[in-house]
Structure 1
């Protein structure tokens, strides 16, 4: 486990201290959709935050490694896992993924909205994640395709220019995986409901890439 404090760790610790709960408490819908039919094994949840996805996986039979840069988030995740009765099925690890990565081989690596307000080598992290998959393992990457509906996408109006928002094709290109060693199970954009801070309903364009290592 990496215990080194970085600027990113300090930023995200401060972000999580702003509220008792940052995220919804529910697992990401795309994870549920894509992982429900998979046989449980060893899962790695990258950027696990307060633990919602990792806890859902553990409750469905997976042995999970949950990774985040924020110690504050991981402390909450551990409490939530204990409350859910799955504490013994999740190993919480603190990593700045730009500097260190969990050891081991996994049957599922999930990267749900692995975006950062700070500069982050997302492509390198996802390539490392792909290399950590066992034969037959699945890499599941879900991300935003663009800013939310209340934030104009035109140049000069994006609040967080450091955030990478690649298309499915760009995700696949960046992974640079040999085609004969990987099966593309899904690579598409999709909409979901999202409410603006002022309560205005709307949609957000996201995308999902799902690959299986042959």
Structure 2
């Protein structure tokens, strides 16, 4: 997967655009400033937006090419972000460090997914917020009709509401949607897509 993402992010353009994800932007603007984590942050569009709003930003991704473009974008916008390269167990984040975690199209390998979600619970402060948007399992069929919408080809990397409710058991879900939307995010997220999105608060 590292090689795949390094190759994709080595393209000269920002392949998912420079603008933040619309759902993330809308929901971030509703919560109080603090410290936020961006797992699988890629080229940095969401992290840079948060930094511009005044958040203290940490991010990580397995792709060095993604990090390089994220730091270039941050520099062009006059903000700083702490962006590390590696997998979550390699990071030095502290228990209950973050006021918010943004999981925006953060699709992890099946072997990592559940352990990552358990650790995200630990990293989030009580009362902290998760903002989530990613492809649902229905995206496998949507991809066949609209390959430009993107997403993993492996159904085990996609999400169901039941899985997410289990992973974040005990959280208060402010909203929880499983729906078809129109994506317009750079080169690889375009057209009709099946997503799950939610905002949830840690007890």
- What's the TM-score once normalised by structure 1's chain length? 0.79
Q: Is 1:106 aligned with 2:98?
A: yes
Q: Which residue of 1 aligns with 2:179?
A: 190
- Local SS of the residue matching 1:192: strand
**Shift of residue 167 of structure 1?**
1.8
Q: How many residues align?
A: 190
Mapped to 2, the partners of 1:159 and 1:60 lie a distance apart of 31
- Local SS of the residue matching 1:13: helix
Mapped to 1, the partners of 2:50 and 2:129 lie a distance apart of 14
Show the 5 A alignment for 1:30-109. 30-87=23-80, 90-97=81-88, 99-104=89-94, 105-109=97-101
**Shift of residue 128 of structure 1?**
0.8
Which structure 1 residue ranges, 5 or more long, are not aligned? 1-7, 196-200
Mapped to 2, the partners of 1:96 and 1:110 lie a distance apart of 16
**Shift of residue 58 of structure 1?**
0.6
Structure 1, residues 3-45: CA drift from partner, whole Å, max 9, x if none? Answer: xxxxx33332123224432211111111112111111100001
Q: Give the structure with the larger helix fraction.
A: 2
Q: Which residue of 2 aligns with 1:5?
A: none
Question: Larger radius of gyration, structure 1 or 2?
Answer: 1
Which structure 2 residue ranges, 5 or more long, are not aligned? 185-189
Runs of 4+ in structure 1 displaced over 4 angstroms? none
